[in-house]
C-alpha cells in the first residue's frame, strides 16, 4: 500500500504554526479595521477567465502555475492564485461601484504550482487590502501605512525595508517602453530566451528577470524616471512627501516594476533578508486599469497582499497563549464532579484542561507539560467537603477552595 503523504508543496499546519499564523491574521484584521477597511471574502475558485484577463495569457502564473480544471458542467475554473482579481470581479458582478470608495480587507488560501522552497508553498495564505475608487497619491500612502503599521505591531518592522518606485501614467509608461525596447534590442543576442520573448510582448518584465544572463544588462538599463512627464513626477513626489509626513522610511528602487498595463504610478514592496530568496513580505501598488480590463467601469485602485506564512516565520515562535488551569480528578467518583467543574470554569472565562486518565503523578506531569498555571485537584477527601485543592504550579503553593466559590479563588489565573 502506498504511504499517504501531503501533496508536494502543501503541509499540515500544526498548533504552533497555526497560532503564529492566527496572530498574523488577527493583527492584520485589527489594524486594517482601524483604517476603515471592512473584511470580505471571495470564492476559493473562480472562472478561469477572471485570472486570464488580469494576469495575462503569457505570464508564468497563467501558463505554468495555475491549478485549472474543468468542472462537471464543462466550465473552466481555477483555484485562486491571488486575491485582487477576485475583489475586482466582486466589484463588477456585485454592482458595488455605486458605493465607491470602498476599503476591503481579505485573508485566505491561495494556490500556485511553484517549486516549493522556504516561505513558498503551493497552498499558501495571504492577507491583503484593497482601496477602490480613490485616485490620488494619498490613497497609496494610506495602504502603505496600513502595511507598515501591521509589521510594527507584529514586532518585525525593524527587519524589513520599504522599496518604492513609480511606473508613471500611461503616457510616461509608453515613452519608457519605447526607451526599453531600444535598449534591450541592442543587447538582444545576450538576453535569455525568456527575455527575448518578453522584448516582443512586455519589455518591462525583463527588468524583473532573475536569469543571471540578464542581470548585468538589466543593471545598466535606463531608469523609469527619465521618461516621466510632469504629472507622473508630481504624483511620485506627493507619495514620498506623504510617507515622510508619517515617518515611514523607504528607499527608491528603480528596478521595482509591475509588468501589466493596468498598473500605474506607485509600486512598492516591504522586503527582508531573513527569508532567503523569498524577500518580499508585502507587495502592492496602484492598478487603475484593472477593473476596466475586466469589463467594469474605469475604477482607480490600490492595495497590497502579504504571505501569512512568511510573516509568521519572521515572528519566530508562536505568541504565548493563555495558560490553562488543569482540572484533575482522583478516583472514579471524582470524574463527574471534575467534568462539571471544568465546564463551569470555562463558561466563566477560564482556559481549562481536563485530564481524563492516569494516576496523579502522570496527570501533574502532563499539566506541567501543557504549561498550566494551576491545578485543581478533586479527590475523595475534597468531595467529602465539596471542595477542591488548588495548587499554583509556579510556586508550589497550595490551598483549598469550596467548589461553589472556585471561580473567585482562581480569579488571579484568568
pTM (predicted TM-score):
0.87
What would the grid cell of residue 387 be?
A: 471542595
Same-domain status, 311 and 334: no
When mean pLDDT is compared across 313-322, 384-393, 401-410, the lowest value belongs to 313-322
Same-domain status, 310 and 370: no
What local confidence, expressed as pLDDT, does residue 212 receive? 84
What local confidence, expressed as pLDDT, does residue 154 receive? 96
Residue 127, in any domain of the structure: yes
What local confidence, expressed as pLDDT, does residue 1 receive? 57
What local confidence, expressed as pLDDT, does residue 197 receive? 85
What local confidence, expressed as pLDDT, does residue 237 receive? 97
Asked if residue 191 lies in contact with residue 180, where contact means CB atoms within 8 angstroms, the answer is: no
What local confidence, expressed as pLDDT, does residue 211 receive? 84
Same-domain status, 236 and 373: no
Return the ∠ at Cα 273 (arms to 309 and 125), rounded to 5°: 15
User: Look-up: residue for cell 488571579?
Assistant: 412
SS3 call for 75: coil
Give the chain's count of helices (H) and strands (E).
Answer: 15, 16
Q: Pick from 256, 284, 315: which residue ends a domain?
A: 315
pLDDT per position as a tens digit, 23-69: 999 999 999 999 999 999 999 999 999 998 877 655 556 557 899 99
Share of the chain above pLDDT 70, in %: 96
Residue 213, in any domain of the structure: no
Residue 375, in any domain of the structure: yes
Asked if residue 90 lies in contact with residue 291, where contact means CB atoms within 8 angstroms, the answer is: no
Asked if residue 138 lies in contact with residue 242, where contact means CB atoms within 8 angstroms, the answer is: yes
What local confidence, expressed as pLDDT, does residue 57 receive? 55
pLDDT at 140 over 70: yes
pLDDT per position as a tens digit, 341-381: 999 999 999 999 998 788 888 999 999 988 999 999 999 99
Asked if residue 46 lies in contact with residue 86, where contact means CB atoms within 8 angstroms, the answer is: yes
What DSSP designation does 319 have? Answer: P
- Domain, as residue range, for 102: 15-169+229-315
- The average pLDDT across 95-111 equals 96
What local confidence, expressed as pLDDT, does residue 55 receive? 75
pLDDT per position as a tens digit, 120-139: 789 999 999 999 999 999 99
CATH number at residue 374: 3.40.50.800
- The average pLDDT across 207-224 equals 85
> Average pLDDT, whole number, for the chain?
91
Residue 132, in any domain of the structure: yes
What local confidence, expressed as pLDDT, does residue 326 receive? 95
CA distance 317 to 19: 9
Residue 178, in any domain of the structure: no
What DSSP designation does 7 have? Answer: P
Same-domain status, 146 and 294: yes
CATH number at residue 56: 3.30.930.10
Secondary element (H or E) of residue 73: none
Could you tell me whether strands 251-252 and 68-70 are parallel, antiparallel, or unpaired per DSSP bridges? unpaired
Contacts of 410 (CB under 8 A, 6+ apart): 325, 345, 350, 374, 376, 390, 401
Asked if residue 25 lies in contact with residue 308, where contact means CB atoms within 8 angstroms, the answer is: yes
SS3 call for 158: helix
First-residue to last-residue Cα distance in the chain: 49
Strand order in 45-47's β-sheet?
45-47, 76-79, 68-70
Question: How many structural domains is the chain composed of?
Answer: 2
pLDDT at 18 over 70: yes
Same-domain status, 128 and 252: yes
Buried b (16+ CB within 10 A) or exposed e, 255-271: ebbbbbbbbbbbbbbbb
Q: Pick from 315, 339, 370: which residue ends a domain?
A: 315
When mean pLDDT is compared across 9-18, 126-135, 204-213, the lowest value belongs to 204-213
Q: Pick from 315, 340, 373: which residue ends a domain?
A: 315
- For residues 57 and 104, the model is more confident at 104
Same-domain status, 264 and 308: yes
What local confidence, expressed as pLDDT, does residue 279 receive? 86
Indicate the pLDDT class of residue 160, thresholds 50, 70 and 90.
very high
What local confidence, expressed as pLDDT, does residue 320 receive? 75
CA distance 282 to 83: 13
pLDDT per position as a tens digit, 253-291: 988 888 677 899 999 999 998 887 668 999 999 999 999
What local confidence, expressed as pLDDT, does residue 209 receive? 81
What would the grid cell of residue 158 be?
A: 525593524
CA distance 188 to 389: 81
DSSP letter string over 19-43?
HHHHHHHHHHHHHHHHTTPEE----
CA distance 179 to 245: 34
Q: Give the chain's radius of gyration (CA, Å).
A: 28
SS3 call for 233: helix
Amino acid at each position: 500500500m502506498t504511504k499517504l503523504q501531503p501533496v508536494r508543496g502543501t503541509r499540515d499546519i500544526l498548533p504552533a504554526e497555526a497560532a503564529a499564523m492566527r496572530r498574523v491574521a488577527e493583527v492584520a484584521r485589527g489594524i486594517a479595521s482601524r483604517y476603515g477597511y471592512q473584511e470580505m471574502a471571495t470564492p476559493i475558485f473562480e472562472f478561469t477567465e477572471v485570472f486570464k484577463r488580469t494576469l495575462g495569457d503569457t505570464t508564468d502564473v497563467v501558463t505554468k502555475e495555475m491549478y485549472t480544471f474543468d468542472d462537471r458542467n464543462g466550465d473552466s475554473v481555477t483555484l485562486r492564485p491571488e486575491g485582487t482579481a477576485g475583489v475586482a470581479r466582486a466589484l463588477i458582478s456585485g454592482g458595488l461601484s455605486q458605493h465607491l470608495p470602498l476599503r476591503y480587507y481579505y485573508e485566505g488560501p491561495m494556490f500556485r504550482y511553484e517549486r516549493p522552497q522556504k516561505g513558498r508553498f503551493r497552498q499558501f495564505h495571504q492577507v491583503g487590502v484593497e482601496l477602490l475608487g480613490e485616485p490620488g497619491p494619498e490613497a497609496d500612502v494610506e495602504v502603505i501605512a496600513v502595511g507598515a503599521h501591521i509589521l510594527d505591531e507584529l514586532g518585525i518592522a525593524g527587519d524589513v525595508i520599504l522599496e518604492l518606485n513609480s511606473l508613471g501614467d500611461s503616457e510616461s509608461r509608453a515613452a519608457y517602453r519605447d526607451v526599453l525596447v531600444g535598449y534591450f534590442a541592442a543587447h538582444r543576442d545576450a538576453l535569455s530566451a525568456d527575455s527575448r520573448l518578453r522584448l516582443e510582448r512586455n519589455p518591462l518584465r525583463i527588468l524583473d528577470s532573475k536569469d543571471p544572463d540578464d542581470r548585468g544588462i538589466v543593471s545598466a538599463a535606463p531608469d523609469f524616471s527619465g521618461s516621466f512627464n510632469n504629472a507622473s513626477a508630481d504624483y511620485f513626489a506627493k507619495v514620498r512627501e506623504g510617507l515622510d509626513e508619517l515617518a515611514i522610511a523607504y528607499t527608491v528602487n528603480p528596478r521595482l516594476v509591475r509588468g501589466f498595463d493596468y498598473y500605474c504610478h506607485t509600486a512598492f514592496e516591504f522586503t527582508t533578508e531573513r527569508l532567503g530568496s523569498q524577500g518580499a513580505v508585502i507587495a502592492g501598488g496602484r492598478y487603475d486599469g484593472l477593473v476596466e480590463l475586466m469589463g467594469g467601469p474605469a475604477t482607480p485602485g490600490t492595495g497590497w497582499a502579504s504571505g501569512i506564512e512568511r510573516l509568521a516565520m519572521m515572528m519566530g515562535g508562536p505568541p504565548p497563549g493563555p495558560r490553562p488551569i488543569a482540572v484533575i480528578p482522583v478516583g472514579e467518583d471524582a470524574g463527574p464532579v471534575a467534568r462539571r467543574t471544568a465546564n463551569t470554569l470555562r463558561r466563566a472565562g477560564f482556559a481549562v484542561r481536563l485530564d481524563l486518565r492516569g494516576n496523579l503523578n502522570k496527570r501533574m506531569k502532563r499539566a506541567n507539560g501543557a504549561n498550566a498555571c494551576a491545578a485543581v485537584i478533586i479527590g475523595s477527601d475534597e468531595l467529602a467537603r465539596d471542595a477542591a485543592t488548588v495548587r499554583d504550579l509556579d510556586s508550589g503553593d497550595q490551598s483549598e477552595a469550596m467548589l461553589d466559590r472556585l471561580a473567585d479563588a482562581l480569579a488571579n489565573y484568568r
